[in-house]
Amino acid sequence: MKTQIALEDVMINLAKNSGQPSVIIMDRGLMDSAGYIGWEKFNEILERMNWTVEELRDRRYDAIVHLVTAADGAPEFYDKNRYQQSYINYETLEEAINRDQKLQKVYLGHNNVSFIGNTEPDGFNGKMDRLVNAVYASLGLPNCEKRFRKFLLKPLHETILEGMVPYN
């Protein structure tokens, strides 16, 4: 956790010193540890390091956006065998859902938390659109929902025929 804090601090300082408006998006927050090791061990670490949940969860991150695992709602896209070389997705569907529910609970209490499931009609693209909109909302920007305009046009063959003079 100390290493993660140090890495996050480097990114925050780079953003501050850039002189440009910046957004830092992190994959995995400090509170994720509680979802993996459990509250008992996590609280021992907090006590030993003189940290608090509020410090790590509420003051460190302006917004939390949790993308629900594909195992929960889109199991056809959760393939643990695809990640055999990785230590990231080593869980069965049931284990992944259980872990994901624990991870969701560790962020409850944050004042700007969003959970994005797997129910979008556009599938993964819809999920990514919701993610972008959650980030926009946390920045106070209008969402970037796609807007479509539809026009009713005559079929091409009717348009062509209108300009033709009958042949006698």
**pLDDT tens per residue across span 79-138:** 766 555 555 557 888 999 999 999 999 999 999 999 999 998 889 999 999 999 999 999
Domain-wise residue ranges, the chain:
2-141
Q: How confident is the model at residue 163 (pLDDT cuts 50, 70, 90)?
A: low
> CA-based Rg of the chain, rounded to a whole angstrom?
24
Element (H, E) at 16: helix 2-18
Does the pLDDT value for residue 5 go beyond 80?
A: yes
Residue 64 β-bridge partners? 113
- Global pTM reads 0.76
**For residue 66, which phi and psi values (nearest 5 degrees)?**
-105, 120
Structure tokens at 154: 């005559």
8 Å CB contact between 103 and 42? no
**For residue 128, which phi and psi values (nearest 5 degrees)?**
-65, -35
Q: Residues 9-13: what's their mean pLDDT?
A: 95
Q: What's the Cα-to-Cα distance from 100 to each of 3, 37, 48, rounded to whole Å?
A: 23, 13, 26
Does the pLDDT value for residue 143 go beyond 70?
A: yes
The region of weakest confidence among 15-24, 94-103, 136-145 is: 136-145
